Structure formats: structure tokens, C-alpha cells
Amino acid sequence: MLAKRIIPCLDVRDGRVVKGVNFEGIREVGDPVECAAEYNKQGADEIVFYDITASHEGRGVMLDVVRETAKRVFVPLTVGGGIKTVDDIRDTLRAGADKVSVNSQAVKNPQLIKDGADIFGSQCICVGIDAKKTPAGNWTVYINGGRIDMGIDLLDWVKEIERLGAGEICLNSIDTDGVKGGFDLPMLKAVVDAVSIPVIASGGAGKLGDFAEAFQKTDCSAALAASLFHFKELTVQQVKDDCRAKGIIVR
């Protein structure tokens, strides 16, 4: 059977790793290539770079980071943030990424998912989603780093992106992101049950047991965290040991 994946995410701005809490109060935490190499050593199953650079020049810097990382890290690399066109996808994959994660642009232009999947294969198109609970009890999809509510129902959106050929979903809960109270299990379960492509849980991991809990209570395929690993509160290895002790298959 496939192992459940533990994925550290590195937020990168202008070629440096940064970390924000609830998308604000950004602080710098280091060199992305070194951070990726360290996670690789800890047993990360995949590494995600999330590029929060706004400028066009910054994209070139990000591709350099990917190129350098690909020379030293031999697990799958995913790059998200700022990917707007098929050419962006191509450039990112050519630099050495195995997958791209498209987020806001997929909402604005869903055809990008279909074109990307048709040209490069579904396996390299991950769709990142930021979603938040509404007073009515459902969830809606946000763009631009969680700032703009598109009013699109989350479960409608995940079915649509599966239909368009996405290979994977990375689901971030705005409600739990940065709060460290655990993943948003009701949202996660609803999405996992709505689609048959793999779902990565994101946003909210705060302690060791949160990862195993996500795998025990939902059929998510992977769990992602950023600050927890950055600030060395936990290592990837500790998380895997905890999962293994609870009977969850990990590498």
C-alpha cells in the first residue's frame, strides 16, 4: 500500500524562506536550498516551495532555487505560487520541479488546470485551495492568499477541478492555518469524500499527534506543515515515528 506522506512546505519570497502567521507578520527563516536539504535528511516524502514573490523578476529567482534544490534533493519537489500560464508550468517543471501547485489562477482561469493536465499529465498538476467556513456551515474558496472570498462552494469546486484533470488537491483551511490547533478535519473529510484524487491536508498542525489524527479520521493521502518544521518544534522524523507507532504506514 502507499505510504502516507509527510510534506514540509517552504514559503519563499525573493529567494529566501519566510513564514507568516495567518498570512501576515512575515519573518525570514533561511536559505531554501539548505532547508530543503535538511528536510530531505529528516525523511520528508516530498518538498513544497510556495513562492510568495509578487514581482516578475522574483520568478527567475524561484526557478534558480528549484534548479539548485534539484541537484541535491532526490525526492519529489512541488512548486506553487504565481503560476499563471502553461509557460509558467513548463518553466517550473524544466527547472526540476515534479509538480506545480496552482491556486488563485486556477480559480480565475480553470482552463489552466485542463491545459496543464493535457500537456504535462495530471500527475504534475496539483490544485491548491484556500477555503473558509461560512455562517451557513459550508465552505467557500478564497484567492490571493486568503484575502478574497470568491463565493464558490468548496465541494463544487473540488469536483470541478477533478473533472478538469487535476492530479491532486492541497487543501488549506484559513480557519485553522497558523492557529496550531490541528487540521480542519470536517473540511478535510468532506473534500476527501467528494473526490477520488489524493488530498493533502494543510493548515493547522500544531503538535505531534495532529498528523496521525488526520490520517486516522480521514482518508487524506498526505499532510503538510510549514512553521512547525521551520521552527524545529518537530522534525519530520518525529511525526513519522508517531504515525508508525499508531499503525499508520509511512516511509
- The least distance separating another protein from the CB of residue 111, rounded to whole angstroms, comes to 21
Strands 125-133 and 168-173: parallel
Distance CA 228, CA 8 (A): 9
Asked if 123 interacts with another protein (CB under 8 A), we say yes
The single residue of 45, 88, 91, 130 carrying the catalytic annotation is 130
Asked if 86 interacts with another protein (CB under 8 A), we say no
- The least distance separating another protein from the CB of residue 222, rounded to whole angstroms, comes to 8
Give first-to-last CA distance, the chain, whole Å. Answer: 11
Asked if 27 interacts with another protein (CB under 8 A), we say no
Stretch that binds another protein, among 24-32, 37-45, 136-144, 147-155 (CB under 8 A): 37-45
Near another protein by CB under 8 A: residue from 29, 61, 197, 208: 197
Could you tell me which residues are beta bridge partners of residue 27? 19
Asked if 93 interacts with another protein (CB under 8 A), we say yes
Asked if 108 interacts with another protein (CB under 8 A), we say no
Residues 153-192 within binding reach of another protein (CB under 8 A): 167-168
Length of the chain (residues): 251
Quick one: 94 or 108, whose CB is closer to another protein? 94
Which residues are at the interface with another protein (CB under 8 A)? Answer: 1-3, 5, 40, 43, 45, 70-72, 74-76, 93-94, 96, 98, 121-123, 167-168, 196-198, 221-222, 251
